Amino acid sequence: MELTRRQLLTLAGSATVAAALAGCGGTLRPADVGAAGFGENATGTLNLWCRSDTVNGTQAVVDAFHQAQDRIRVQVTPIQNGQYVTKLATAIRGGRVPDVIDIDDIYSTLFAYRGAFTDLTPLIEDLGIGDALSPGHLALSTKDGRNYGLPFIGDFSVLFCNTELFDRAGLDVDEHTRDFDGILEAARAISALDDDLYGWSFPGNSSGALGFTVQPHVWATDRDLITGDVGSQRGDVVGNEALRRTLELERTLWSEQLVPPGSFSDDASRWSADYVAGRLGMFPAGFGVVVPNADEALLEHTKAVLLPGPDGGRAFFDGGDNLCMLNGARNPSAAWEFMKFAVAVEQQARMPEGFYSPVRSDVRTPEFEEKYPLVVPPLEALDRGYAPTTLAYNLIYNQQDGPWLRMFRSAVFDGEVDAAMQEAQTTYDRILRQAQA
């Protein structure tokens, strides 16, 4: 497969970002995080950029921070997701950067590897909560064993199950979601209950949403679709048995009409509609997709579990945001004071109020678990969360003309599993090679 014009332009954009970051090397200095009193009793204005998708959660923490002290005022600037990487690279190039950013954890990799962030390793170690923090978030902002980002907001993929439909079909949620055989049996049984019911669903025309919900089936086997370290990565598609079986499962679900027909064209704009209407037995998605849209009656008979591998094991997409301190920050001490506040248990325990997940497992008190049962499964197994550390994630998984979506649709809707995987291998390799050049 030849790269499309859009992919070539995006790669060119990636090269421009890389050049912008490389061009500022040495001109923006990292903060002296070891200075006496750093991150304590700071004053002044703190400039914070955040993603438009998570502005509500970020603003809630900022408001609480203002209530807790009166020395630092935080100015929040929301940036549209599609413009975030380019605007940040431009700011770095121009030497006028925000003090701290709330950035999609996937994209924190690009800037960490280009030397744009201050090394936070000793500060994070001093927090003494390393074992409780999301390892997936940390991995995405880690280079050469050093941490350049602090986990902030969690957005984790899980499998939501309608327990009322499971009961009607005589099924057990845990037993029938532990592997692909169980999922297929449950999907068939639930679909057979009524003409308007389906066992499963997927947004078949949304590359990003499919990456969020389908890849964990492969990761549950401790395998990825990309192999190697950043700089020498290649695709791991052909010969990937876990991936093959995942595509075959989705193909079977589609060909046996166990998913709604609208799944073919669903671009995630109506992603949760069938589940919140009570028409689905199982629904892979995120907390923020289901809970804001479902009524209390449905939530009372909903159970969340992690996504299974073909023969067992479980995993989830470790999405969300990291907080990162820019080299050249004008008020880095205030930045770290805010970052510490944002990751404190008190703030993290409130994340579900804004339909996000905490990024530290020690928020799980009995009271928290009773109030937010659908948030708990990933927190019980944070080590099963993952997302690929790569400079090419956006090109492969988020672009509508990228190889991930093309492979999924060809395999699932056309039944061309072998050909789809072969083509994807070639394109993964080509994109990775050019992104790492």
| Same fold yes or no, 44-155+319-386 and 156-318+390-436 | yes
CATH topology of domain 44-155+319-386: D-Maltodextrin-Binding Protein; domain 2 (3.40.190)
Percentage of the chain exceeding pLDDT 90: 92
Q: What is the pTM of this model?
A: 0.94
Render pLDDT for 175-216 as a digit per residue (tens, 0 to 9): 999 999 999 999 999 999 999 999 999 999 999 999 999 999
Q: If you search the block for the tokens 């009570």, which residue do you land on?
A: 278
Render pLDDT for 320-336 as a digit per residue (tens, 0 to 9): 999 999 999 999 999 99
The SS3 assignment for 315 reads strand
Render pLDDT for 41-79 as a digit per residue (tens, 0 to 9): 999 999 999 999 999 999 999 999 999 999 999 999 999
- Supply 203's token pair: 């947004």
Q: Which residues contact 287 (CB under 8 A, 6 or more apart)?
A: 155, 156, 158, 304, 352, 355, 356, 357, 374, 375
Mean pLDDT to the nearest integer, 327-356: 97
b/e map of 52-80 (b: 16 or more CB within 10 Å)? ebbbebbbbbbeebeeeeeebebebebbe
CATH topology of domain 156-318+390-436: D-Maltodextrin-Binding Protein; domain 2 (3.40.190)
Element at 187 (helix H, strand E): helix 180-191
Tell me the H-state helices in 352-402.
366-371, 376-380, 393
b/e map of 248-267 (b: 16 or more CB within 10 Å)? bbbbbbbeeebbbeebeebe
Render pLDDT for 245-283 as a digit per residue (tens, 0 to 9): 999 999 999 999 999 999 999 999 999 999 999 999 999
Mean pLDDT of the chain: 94
* Bridge partner list, 102: 323
Whether 338 and 69 have beta carbons less than 8 Å apart is answered as: no
Banded pLDDT at 19 (limits 50, 70, 90): low
Compute CA distances 301 → 282, 293, 429, whole Å.
12, 15, 44
Whether 147 and 124 have beta carbons less than 8 Å apart is answered as: yes
Q: Is the pLDDT of residue 26 over 90?
A: no
Query: How is the chain split into domains, by residue range?
Result: 44-155+319-386, 156-318+390-436
Banded pLDDT at 22 (limits 50, 70, 90): low
Percentage of the chain exceeding pLDDT 70: 94
Banded pLDDT at 12 (limits 50, 70, 90): very low
For position 130, what pLDDT does the model report?
Answer: 85
